[in-house]
């Protein structure tokens, strides 16, 4: 009996010690080192718009405000666009971010040029708008958090080589370690052979936030990824492909706008015009780590997903892989990590499939009748696979 009295005190002491020793790594608001970007355009990203096949948004950064022109060429015909511009000042310096949003692009191969008054600063890239053939292919990437330029580059480049013609890459947050320029550089270095030609569908994680999720979203995120403007806030949105609606749900600080975000989520699911619906958010309904639970996701969002029989819930945050659910039951919950940092699986018996100790990624193929899901290990061997038929 006496021992039992001291158990709560012991728990408090252990939790306090963990916070004390890990505060800087978990929540520390470290100062951003001074930086200076190139005067030429760099860090080019493509983000999909509301219409997943036809809409594209482009962003790039520069050291200063310059009269850039974006020229899009298809079949030898060119169109010029003037980008929007935003100057974002953070602790280490100022980032000038430029955006161009393009809608209703027709099928085919495009080349674009980003140029200024100095022709030597021109950069260019190619991308494709794929046909509406009823066959959508996506790559799903979990947390990254590279801490150097070696990072995940080889891993991502090999994924791109194996799956070159994707309609989009789903990024479930924590792409960077902290919202500082150096971490954005590390992430782009890992993606620089992919980002200029591939449409990303991102949602932020807690590491895109100041104070590890306790502060505000890093100022660069929304301008780097100009997301569709169809949500109740800038980081809630959906993308429609012919066979699937993808709903990006901002899970950071969700408690403070839970009612509004639930209502928007329910409406986005109910008005889905496609055969399948996928919801993606950084924090999970189910956790891979022992004793970890997110009450807002478990008790605030899970009932919505189950009531509306969402097909997939894609999650990150825990640095391991798990699947909870077996077809034809739905929702099926997937936790994904593509990071070199790993967490052990706390209770493997609680999950349908689980694994840890490697980087992972998934290829998702969605036709009008079936969703095909394959998850691969870092050596590209198959870890998990299932087929989910369309709801009748």
Mean pLDDT over 5-34 rounds to 60
CB 364 within 8 A of CB 373: yes
What confidence category does residue 11 fall into, taking pLDDT thresholds of 50, 70 and 90?
Answer: very low
User: Which pLDDT value is given to residue 215?
Assistant: 72
Residue 152: which residues within 8 A CB-CB, separation 6 or more?
144, 146, 190, 338, 339, 340, 359
What confidence category does residue 30 fall into, taking pLDDT thresholds of 50, 70 and 90?
Answer: confident
User: Which pLDDT value is given to residue 218?
Assistant: 86
User: Which pLDDT value is given to residue 149?
Assistant: 74
The rounded distance, in Å, linking the Cα atoms of 321 and 37 is 36
The rounded distance, in Å, linking the Cα atoms of 188 and 15 is 36
What confidence category does residue 8 fall into, taking pLDDT thresholds of 50, 70 and 90?
Answer: low
Q: What share of the chain is helix, strand, coil (3-state, %, to 5)?
A: 25, 30, 45
90-122 pLDDT, tens per residue?
Answer: 999 999 999 999 999 999 999 999 999 888 889
Mean pLDDT over 79-97 rounds to 95
User: Which pLDDT value is given to residue 118?
Assistant: 83
Residue 389 has pLDDT above 80, yes or no: yes
CB 201 within 8 A of CB 17: no
The rounded distance, in Å, linking the Cα atoms of 263 and 273 is 18
Mean pLDDT over 350-364 rounds to 96
User: Which pLDDT value is given to residue 210?
Assistant: 87
Q: Is the pTM of this model over 0.95?
A: no
Q: At what angle do helices 153-162 and 181-191 cross, to 10 degrees?
A: 40
183-230 pLDDT, tens per residue?
Answer: 999 999 999 999 999 999 999 999 999 875 567 898 899 999 999 999
What confidence category does residue 4 fall into, taking pLDDT thresholds of 50, 70 and 90?
Answer: low
* Terminal Cα distance for the chain, rounded: 57
* Token code pair at residue 95: 């980032």
Cα-to-chain-centroid distance, residue 109: 25
230-264 pLDDT, tens per residue?
Answer: 999 999 999 999 999 999 999 999 999 999 999 99
The rounded distance, in Å, linking the Cα atoms of 144 and 375 is 16
**DSSP for residue 296:** I
Residue 7 has pLDDT above 80, yes or no: no
Residue 1 has pLDDT above 60, yes or no: no
The residue ranking higher by pLDDT, 89 or 8, is: 89
135-182 pLDDT, tens per residue?
Answer: 999 999 999 999 887 789 999 999 999 999 999 999 999 999 999 999
User: Which pLDDT value is given to residue 168?
Assistant: 97
Quote the mean pLDDT of the chain. 91
The rounded distance, in Å, linking the Cα atoms of 299 and 150 is 40
What confidence category does residue 290 fall into, taking pLDDT thresholds of 50, 70 and 90?
Answer: confident
């Amino acid at each position: 009996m006496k021992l039992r009295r001291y158990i709560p005190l012991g728990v408090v002491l252990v939790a306090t010690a963990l916070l004390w020793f890990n505060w800087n790594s978990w929540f520390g608001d470290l100062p951003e080192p001074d930086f200076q970007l190139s005067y030429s355009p760099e860090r080019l990203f493509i983000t999909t718009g509301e219409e997943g096949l036809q809409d594209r948004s482009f962003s790039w950064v520069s050291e200063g405000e310059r009269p850039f022109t974006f020229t899009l060429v298809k079949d030898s015909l060119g169109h010029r666009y003037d980008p929007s511009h935003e100057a974002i000042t953070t602790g280490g310096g100022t980032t000038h971010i430029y955006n161009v949003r393009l809608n209703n692009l027709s099928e085919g191969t495009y080349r674009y040029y980003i140029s200024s008054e100095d022709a030597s600063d021109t950069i260019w890239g190619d991308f494709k708008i794929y046909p509406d053939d009823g066959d959508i292919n996506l790559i799903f990437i979990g947390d990254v958090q590279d801490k150097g330029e070696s990072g995940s580059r080889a891993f991502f480049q090999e994924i791109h080589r194996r799956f070159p013609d994707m309609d989009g890459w789903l990024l479930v947050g924590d792409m960077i370690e902290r919202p500082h320029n150096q971490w954005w550089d590390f992430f782009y270095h890992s993606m620089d052979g992919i980002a200029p030609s591939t449409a990303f569908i991102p949602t932020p994680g807690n590491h895109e936030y100041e104070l590890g999720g306790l502060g505000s979203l890093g100022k660069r995120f929304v301008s780097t990824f100009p997301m569709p403007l169809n949500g109740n806030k800038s980081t809630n949105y959906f993308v429609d492909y012919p066979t699937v609606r993808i709903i990006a749900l901002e899970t950071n600080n969700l408690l403070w706008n839970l009612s509004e975000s639930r209502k928007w989520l329910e409406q986005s699911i109910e008005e889905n015009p496609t055969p399948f619906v996928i919801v993606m958010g950084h924090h999970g309904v189910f956790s891979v780590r022992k004793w970890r639970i997110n009450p807002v996701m478990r008790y605030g969002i899970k009932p919505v997903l189950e009531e509306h029989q969402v097909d997939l819930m894609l999650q990150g945050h825990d640095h391991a892989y798990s699947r909870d659910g077996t077809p034809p039951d739905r929702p099926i919950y997937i936790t994904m990590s593509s990071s070199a940092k790993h967490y052990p699986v706390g209770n493997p018996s609680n999950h349908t499939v689980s694994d840890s100790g490697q980087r992972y990624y998934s290829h998702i193929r969605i036709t009008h009748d079936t969703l095909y899901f394959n998850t691969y290990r870092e050596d590209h061997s198959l870890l998990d696979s299932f087929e989910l038929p369309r709801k009748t």
